[in-house]
Chain A
């Protein structure tokens, strides 16, 4: 007797990616899509992003998916929906987000400090019919609270992204997907390109990912600007070195003359 994959959707081979029970939302990054079960963010579950303090890659990673999801948001009748940000570290900058596809007018920012208030606000937002996605920034949090959020997100079919510090990596988490974000250490010289983000899949429904992914997050206009600026700087430096070499030669001539 053989187990057919079609008979039991919750059972998958250890060497294959699971087929998620709910919807998935393509991330907008092809390399990341290939590494995620079903090919995208799980709708109806927590996606955990572990970021070092000071590192921020939320918008580059999430903006493509959020813009797409807000467009097909499950608020067909009222026509108004909002992506809720709870405890965001800084102010989202509207003009930049608009250029990256997010509609800043559809963002709702909730500024709360205490953990209890953040969790409460997240629960309320997940229960709201007009909120397709919730972004939540948390520090140290009990696993029971996360499990509660996971259950709610699953029940209501919402996208929930939880950004946490890297210290949470060793803790158990009910999230079906956990990513650790970092800048690669050996990336001193990027050749005029913006640094690529190193995404490590800590947990997914499938085999562990062998090597971390490198993703380019910045919009193409910014990449081109950085490349142009880098090329220009290189040319300028080459000219300077040339000038300096000439001055050294002349200096040597001067020294030689003084010796004579």
Chain B
């Protein structure tokens, strides 16, 4: 049996009960046999020594956990060894460093350090008994008559002659801890500092139980004299179980930043709502394998917390042929609410490719994207404004003008699919190469200069038209597939690739409504 007694010190003196509990949680990571003494933690480590490689590494790790990673309010950790728990506790109360206290023989420990001797100390002093060996030298029956059987039993336990009776520490299923202030805290930011202390204790609890927190609740109680006494609650949900309290603290900071306290807060309670077992990553030996910085999920949560979850978006493909319906940018946290779904949302290349490719072969798409008969006067290559055009008069028509008799009949007869068919001969814009890389969320109406659409200067149409019939998908989107569409809703778009002197290649379309009005829209940019 090898016992270690632990005590933590803050600047102001011994730490409070909550921190002792946190210290016990840290001790639980070294051994399952931990019990609480007044203001100290007792741990039996004889069975753990081999795992940790000896007593010194175990103590070093414990010290590192408590001081470096864990409790901020503890500035010093004091430990003392002993063959029994009472010996370790007595050595701890000597207040000596580890080495010197280990050198003190058991018999020479002062009786003041034995808890059971406390009430009898003046009498023992007058008897000349100052050390354990003095009391042990006295006749047992006399001691039992004079001081009671309890002192004798305690002495036997301290020497290991009698088995000790310990209540091993068991952590509760739900973590709950509170901090109180007599004067109250007035600012939400000051609550954050208190929450930080509570979170450190929560971290110790989580580490000891090998669990990660998924949801936690911060509750504060407002001064009873100042109106409402109803406790205010802040519920924080995480998308991934975590033991990283720095991340939780940053999220809490975002939430508390927008909070105004109506009255001073007198107590703060932290409670876990949902925890799950967490699988820890093994630490890598190689330095470049080690992660620097937080994980993507943490980033998503923090960005969403501050900017609003709708602002942080992730791409989702859709099985539609209309450009604005081919994709969706959805809130990233909604796309991946759990850890597993985030993984598919982020790395799932294969499903995206598959969904993107399938409609290319589907009959609906090939039907919907038909190459229209080029409208009269809209042949794609005619460049109004060029010298040859102005000289030739009726040949170089402005785009989108009414049919003119001077245009040869041949252009109208040309029904082969010339323009949008890439050399490979695939259908429509299933090939993403021919699609613009930026898409405007709302098609932007284009001004007309004469008959030419303008966007930062007049546009030159290079390729097109490629027709998109709307009636099929309008029926699909409105969910009334059987009903005939109203005439004004049926939209027909002819897509062109156009060139602008300032903006490069653009993707524009001409919409012909049922009332025969033509309007031009900018829909994408080949960036």
Contact = CB atoms under 8 A, between A and B. Distances in A.
Interface of A: 52, 54-60, 63, 75-82, 89-100, 103-112, 117, 120-121, 124-125, 127-131, 156, 183, 190, 194-195, 197, 218-222, 224-226, 228-230, 232-234, 236-237, 239-241, 243-244
B275 interface: no
A97 B313 CA distance: 16
Most A CB contacts (10 A, CB to CB) among B303, B345, B411 go to B303
Contacts of A99: 431-433, 435
Interface in B361-393: 379-382, 392
What 5 pairs across the A-B complex have the smallest Cβ distances? A233-B381, A99-B432, A221-B433, A56-B527, A130-B296
Contacts of A63: 437
Contacts of B342: 80
A120 B429 CA distance: 38
Nearest to B284: A77
A232 B438 CA distance: 28
Contacts of A80: 296, 342-343, 346-347
Contacts of B453: none
Nearest to A130: B296
B348 interface: yes
Contacts of B312: 108-111
B347 to A, nearest CB: 5
Most B CB contacts (10 A, CB to CB) among A63, A121, A125 go to A121
A97 B346 contact: no
B381 A111 contact: no
Contact of B379 (A91, A124, A236): A236
Interface stretch (B131-139, B326-334, B469-477): B326-334
A105 B302 contact: no
Contacts of A110: 303, 307, 311-313
Contact of A225 (B299, B349, B379, B463): B463
Contacts of B243: none
Interface in B254-271: none
Nearest to A230: B381
Most A CB contacts (10 A, CB to CB) among B314, B326, B381, B441 go to B381
Question: Could you tell me the dominant secondary structure of chain B's interface residues?
Answer: mixed
A57 B352 contact: no
Interface of B: 281, 289, 291-296, 298-300, 302-303, 306-307, 311-315, 317, 323, 326-327, 329, 332, 342-343, 345-349, 352-353, 356, 379-382, 392, 394-395, 408, 410-411, 418-420, 422-424, 429, 431-441, 455-456, 462-463, 497, 499-505, 524-527
Given A93-B437, A229-B381, 9 more contacts: A56-B527, A93-B435, A98-B353, A109-B312, A110-B312, A127-B293, A183-B502, A233-B379, A237-B381
Contacts of A54: 455-456, 500, 502-503
A100 B353 CA distance: 13
B347 A56 contact: no
B440 A194 contact: no
B327 A224 contact: no
A79 B505 CA distance: 36
A93 B382 contact: no
Contacts of A233: 379-382
Contacts of B439: 90-93
B293 A128 contact: yes
B329 A59 contact: no
Most A CB contacts (10 A, CB to CB) among B314, B348, B435, B524 go to B435
Given A183-B501, A221-B434, A128 B294 contact: yes
A62 B238 CA distance: 34
A130 to B, nearest CB: 4
Most A CB contacts (10 A, CB to CB) among B300, B314, B326, B527 go to B527
A177 B442 CA distance: 34
A98 B352 contact: yes
B263 to A, nearest CB: 31
B296 A82 contact: yes
Given A79-B347, A93-B435, A129 B295 contact: yes
B503 A131 contact: no
A100 B509 CA distance: 23
A156 B293 contact: yes
Contacts of A103: 349, 352
